[in-house]
Amino acid sequence: MALSCDALVFDAYGTLFDVHAVMRRCESYWPGKGGSLSQLWRTKQLEYTWQRSLMRCYAPFSKVTRDALEYACEALGLPLADSEAASLMAEYLNLAAYPDVADALPRLRAARRSLPVGAPAPEELVELRVPVPDRAGVLAEVTTLAGRLGVNISDLEIAHSVDAVGGVLVMVVAAVSNVVYTYFVSRLGPDAIGAVSLVFPVSLLAITAMGGGIGAGATSAVARALGAGRPSEAAALAGQALLLSLAIGVGFGLAVQVGSPALFHLMGASGAIHANATHFARILFGGAAITFLGAMFDSVMRGEGNVRVPAIWSTTSLVLQMGATPLFMFGLGLGLEGAALAMLACQLLATLPRAVWVLGGRGTVRPVFRPRRTGFRPVREVLRVGVPAALSTSISNVGLMALTAVVARLGAPQPGVERDW
């Protein structure tokens, strides 16, 4: 059956135009270093693009390219003057095409294909924000309408307004929940609040690395598969991402069981605080698989464009924790153990409806846990974006752990002794 096609669209850089054509200009400035600079410049340009996409921190292509150039020159020890930077940036507006492009484009045009013949300069681009409903298939509708109107889309980013409002709500509830949690734990005495303060940065590190890192990788992979019209690949990605979250959760929980005493000792804890922190962490992170699995369900749903359900159940979990914490701690007489168990119990309750939604086929993607002929490729696709994102989001939390260790090593104030801060 013959297929009709209204237009063929190519990625300009690296497909039609040779990005390494700048090598000659690089070589003229730094003889013997042109090839290395061109390779590192392009690598960093792609990495900065991925990171900004994951963080939803948009910047014009020219800024991303300039930042990558400055990094590459500094990494290779090459002095970069403003005039040299401007000259190299200008090269991107006059890149040489690959040899086969000159022959291929006229042949495709002769076949009545509508093709772009160049890349627009940054000053020719117009940023337009269009409100769209939050439902599956809306991206295809937007791009189809743009084609009918003759609008050439150079770059496209979807910012979910529902996610923004829901995200603010979740953050507000989380802040209130943390205050309530801290209040009830503080009623157990300074040793208990000191122990929880030691565990908090470790918990934050784990959650952000999983949700903002590996989870972001899963969201990106599922969204790209759906956008490319490969629902079976999206199902395989979702299934292996969920299994990966369970495996990481179990592995992390086991690591905490073994390594938490040494970790908290390194962070400056001793005596009752060290014992309480170790015990609290072993209970809380013993259920890390629950926490990570719930977060991965959210990531899969976000990948298919559903941001409402994750916001609802994240908020529900936090609200439940505010009521369950005093019940477990004081009503059941479990003390500090009850604080950890209350958190896990509420997370489990909020994970169940997420599982029903995703595994029950109510969303666009229904995970497949034993995909055919794919092996571990879906896991590699998730980790390809997830690992760099996890490392990026973990930096500030590692700093928080270090700060906690510094404060802990200051020790308790001695009677009659004033500290000069």
Q: pLDDT, tens digit, for every residue of 18-72?
A: 877 888 888 889 998 888 888 888 888 888 887 777 666 777 888 888 898 999 8
pTM for the model = 0.58
- Tell me whether residue 11 is one of the annotated catalytic residues: yes
Instruction: List, for residues 311-330, the tens digit of each pLDDT value.
Output: 888 888 888 998 999 999 99
| 210 closest CA partner among 74, 367, 397, 359 | 397
Q: Per DSSP, what are the bridge partners of residue 97?
A: 17
CA distance 40 to 21: 14
Active-site residue (options: 11, 103, 155, 420): 11
Structural domain boundaries in the chain: 8-116, 161-409
Q: Which residues of 300-322 are buried (b: 16+ CB within 10 A; e: fewer)?
A: bbbbbbbbbbbbbbbbebbebbb
Instruction: List, for residues 254-284, the tens digit of each pLDDT value.
Output: 999 999 899 888 888 888 888 999 999 999 9
pLDDT of residue 331: 92
How many CB atoms are located within 10 Å of the residue 121 CB? 10
Quote the percentage of the chain above a pLDDT of 70: 70
pLDDT of residue 389: 65
CA distance 411 to 396: 24
| 280 closest CA partner among 209, 333, 349, 203 | 203
CATH match for 8-116 among 1.10.150.240, 1.20.1640.10, 3.40.50.1970, 3.90.1300.10: 1.10.150.240
